[in-house]
Structure 1
Amino acid sequence: MKCKICLVSIQHLSKAAIAFSVGFFCLLVGYDNIIDFNTNYQFVHSVLSMDKMESFFSGNPTLEARSIDNSNVYLVGYWLIIVGEIITGLVCMFGSIYMFASINKKRFVNGQVIYLVGATFAVLLWYFGFAVIGGEYFSMWANQMNGQMKAYTFATFILITAIYVYMPELKKMPTIDSSTN
């Protein structure tokens, strides 16, 4: 019985720690965007205005008509990103803290659900916001300020953590059958 509790404890600690790291990451990204505001503001400006397209970009009038030439829209869009990152980070952190406080308790699942909500916000932010809207709608793939690969990396990693954090715990250690070797 003690071994079973130990195994569950280790899994709970692992899941809470991973949720904490994602929450901390999201908060750090939001914080960095505030203290170094101009760097990523220029990125948002460039993507939305489509002003730094690579030379290979054909300049299709239909795609270029999507560009936005309004600094107020850039500012609102950037602040929406920052607020999204901070809210996402806070929800993920709250889920992780709830998990840490609930190790070996039935309510641990509540922390997992809270983290799942935060992870969903993160995937929506980096996949839908950056890859779909930025990448495809504003053709960020052809922009010198292309952030698609980072967005895919963040979204993929966070989605994997959501799957891991929410999957059921092992109740006993798997055994290895040495007779098959």
Structure 2
Amino acid sequence: MSQTSCNIHLRIQYLCKGALALSIGAFGLLAAIGNIIDYQSNWQFVRHVLAMDSMEPWFDDAVVQGRAVTDPFWQRLAYLAIIAGELACGLLCAAGGTGLAAAAAGTGCLRWSKSLFTLGALLAILVWYFGFAVVGGEYFAMWANKWNGQMKAYAFISFIVISLIYIRQPERAD
């Protein structure tokens, strides 16, 4: 295989990885912007999960419900942390994707771009896995709440982790 052909194969891989990273960046940014523009819709979700005031009728566990956070200050602080995490995730993944696309064009730093994406993916893991699945799902028993977002969080994070594995793989010219 000629050197030119090898370069084309590498550039296609950079372009694919860049497009994937950019799409995850767009997801994080759209999630954050949606939470900012339509603050009340998702605020209700966060408020009810933290307050544990909308548990399914079959769930009657006073010990677990003692974990509820009902102070609006702490609820809003948690919501703002989610929005900040989504925004930072989106910006870092988009920056990494832009760098990967630039690497496809023969400019840009591949290692730095992958590192930016990795940091963004880490924030996504912290928001959607740790925040929603671990803290929301287990600590606040979201699984027994009428406002249950665990399956969506698992879907988001599964795609992001698979993308992270793919993007971090070394490129091959063959």
Instruction: Say whether the fold is shared (TM-score over 0.5).
Output: yes
Q: Which amino acid aligns with 1:87?
A: A
- 1:126 equivalenced with 2:166 (yes/no): no
In the superposition, the TM-score normalised over structure 1's length comes to 0.91
Structure 1 Cα separation of the partners of residues 116 and 73 of structure 2: 34
Deviation of residue 107 (structure 1)? 2.7
Q: How big is the shift at 1:106?
A: 8.3
Q: CA separation in 1, counterparts of 2:126 and 2:162?
A: 14
Return the alpha-carbon distance in structure 2 between the equivalents of residues 105 and 84 of structure 1. 29
Equivalent of 1:165, from 151, 164, 167? 167
2:147 partner SS: coil
Q: Please, which of 119, 142, 145 is the counterpart of residue 143 of structure 1?
A: 145
Report the residue type matching 2:103 in the other structure. Answer: S
Look up the SS of the partner of 1:54 in the other structure: coil
Within 2, Cα distance between the matches of 1:107 and 1:69?
A: 47
Question: Is 1:156 aligned with 2:158?
Answer: yes
Amino acid at match of 2:74: V
Matches within 5 A, 1:41-56: 41-56=43-58
**Pairwise CA distance, 1:87:** 0.9
Match of 1:87 in 2: 88
Name which of 104, 112, 136 aligns with 1:110: 112
- Tell me which residue corresponds to 1:21: 23
User: One-letter code of the match for 2:134?
Assistant: V
CA distance in 2, matches of 1:60, 1:54: 11
Match of 1:33 in 2: 35
Instruction: In structure 1, give the amino acid aligned to 2:121.
Output: A
Say which SS state the counterpart of residue 169 (structure 1) adopts: coil
TM-score (normalised: structure 2): 0.94
1:131-180 CA distances to partner (integer Å, 9 max, x unpaired)?
Answer: 000000000000000000011111111011100111011221xxxxxxxx
How far has the Cα of 1:105 moved from its partner? 6.1
For 1:25 and 1:69, how far apart are their aligned partners in 2?
30
Q: Percent sequence identity over matched residues?
A: 42
For the residue of structure 1 that corresponds to 2:34, the secondary structure is: helix
Structure ID, larger Rg: 1
Q: State the Cα RMSD in Å.
A: 1.2
Query: Would you say how many aligned residue pairs link Structure 1 and Structure 2?
Result: 171
